[in-house]
Structure 1
């Protein structure tokens, strides 16, 4: 076979070696979950699980993945920190950020808590709404000075030329506000995700995981319907 007739060998980037991860397995044996040992109210059930995540001293137990959908219909995720939960789940961000733009167009979002050491997950689907400015201001004033300045410095999700740009602006604002309180930025604040669906997942042996789902009762939006899902 001549050089011209030899089949071409596809070249692959060195980093694209490919790995088979099928051997990465573990058994989930920490506990079970059923309809009888879960609360009738998913927010109270979340409160119980969150307290247990704190007691277990998990790293950032309030870290949650927020999923939104952009103008092209593409879902996007990022991790944000839960700062309060009541009848919903509250987090804070810049109103000019990509997540805020997404929520302005489509307020249907999803949240996900992943507490792997406890072999637990919580999945939430709901509607995002801005919290009152007074509530945002109250939280802003409770933040450390550096975090307050950070809210002013970062035009979140915008392209910047280098980190030095941020550090320079941080130093400038720190000097500017050194003689008084840092003002509340009107382009920053909180959102509350009001849940419509909540699922509590507990790992089970032989991949027979426990999944208890709550959905708002269509006949009474103050009540919840609870059911088991197949793993």
Structure 2
């Protein structure tokens, strides 16, 4: 979807959340305003996962794709978050746009994106980012910074051009929302909360006490 989606009337900072039936359309409107006004990384989101025995963990990642199927990010599948997602394919996301005083929470199941999607996104990254991704045993112990730099130098020498292939363990995940909640700061803590919950092919919606 386009990053230039127009923000509906009434969506200005400080206004309440308008009634809506499509959470993706509302997300696009808010995201477009975040892109225009947030100083850094408007696509940053907190990703929460759990171990098979229920221990939670959270970290910031970057949203790299979104449509009416869900929200996509990419990572090393052998990392801690990759392992947790593969063993327990459920996750929660939280976007916090501080300058807009808005938050969006997403909860749902998780699936791998297609090989073609992962290949296309990996190829779109800068050469340096691809080299770093391929050199990293993400989340595992690193004896020294020098070891990581040595691996980077080796790959730079092995692939002097722009043909570095995507590592087979590096790819994308898509969070398929079952619940999406929009939160807007309001004066005197009278915040506005609008929640959508998946119901078959559609959504039910309602408001929550702040």
Q: Is 2:209 the partner of 1:230?
A: yes
Which residue is 2:37 aligned to?
A: 56
Query: Of 19, 28, 31, which residue of structure 2 is paired with 1:47?
Result: 28
* 3-state SS of paired residue (1:93): strand
The answer to whether the Cα contact below 8 Å between 1:128 and 1:191 also exists between their aligned partners in 2 is: yes
Which residue is 2:16 aligned to?
A: 33
RMSD, aligned CA: 1.4
Q: CA deviation at 1:140?
A: 0.6
Which residue is 1:68 aligned to?
A: 49
Instruction: Please list every run of at least 4 consecutive aligned residues from structure 1 whose deviation after the TM superposition is greater than 2 angstroms.
Output: none
The answer to whether the Cα contact below 8 Å between 2:127 and 2:162 also exists between their aligned partners in 1 is: no
The answer to whether the Cα contact below 8 Å between 1:92 and 1:188 also exists between their aligned partners in 2 is: yes
Structure 1 CA distance, aligned partners of 2:178 and 2:108? 5
TM-score, normalised on structure 2?
0.91
* 3-state SS of paired residue (1:43): helix
Q: CA deviation at 1:208?
A: 1.2
Structure 2 CA distance, aligned partners of 1:180 and 1:154? 19
Q: CA deviation at 1:58?
A: 3.0
Structure 1 CA distance, aligned partners of 2:84 and 2:112? 13
Which residue is 1:175 aligned to?
A: 157
Structure 2 CA distance, aligned partners of 1:180 and 1:62? 27
Q: CA deviation at 1:163?
A: 1.1
* 3-state SS of paired residue (2:160): coil
Counting only pairs closer than 5 Å after superposition, residues 1-231 of structure 1 correspond to structure 2 as 30-34=13-17, 37-86=18-67, 87-179=69-161, 181-217=163-199, 221-231=200-210
Structure 2 CA distance, aligned partners of 1:130 and 1:58? 31
Structure 2 CA distance, aligned partners of 1:32 and 1:165? 51
Count how many residue pairs are aligned between Structure 1 and Structure 2: 198
Gaps of 5+ in 1: 1-28
Structure 2 CA distance, aligned partners of 1:186 and 1:111? 25
The answer to whether the Cα contact below 8 Å between 2:38 and 2:99 also exists between their aligned partners in 1 is: no
TM-score, normalised on structure 1?
0.83
The answer to whether the Cα contact below 8 Å between 1:38 and 1:45 also exists between their aligned partners in 2 is: no
* 3-state SS of paired residue (1:152): helix
Q: Deviations over 1:34-82 (max 9, x none)?
A: 4xx2431101110000001011143100000000001331110000000
Bigger radius of gyration: 1
The answer to whether the Cα contact below 8 Å between 2:52 and 2:87 also exists between their aligned partners in 1 is: yes
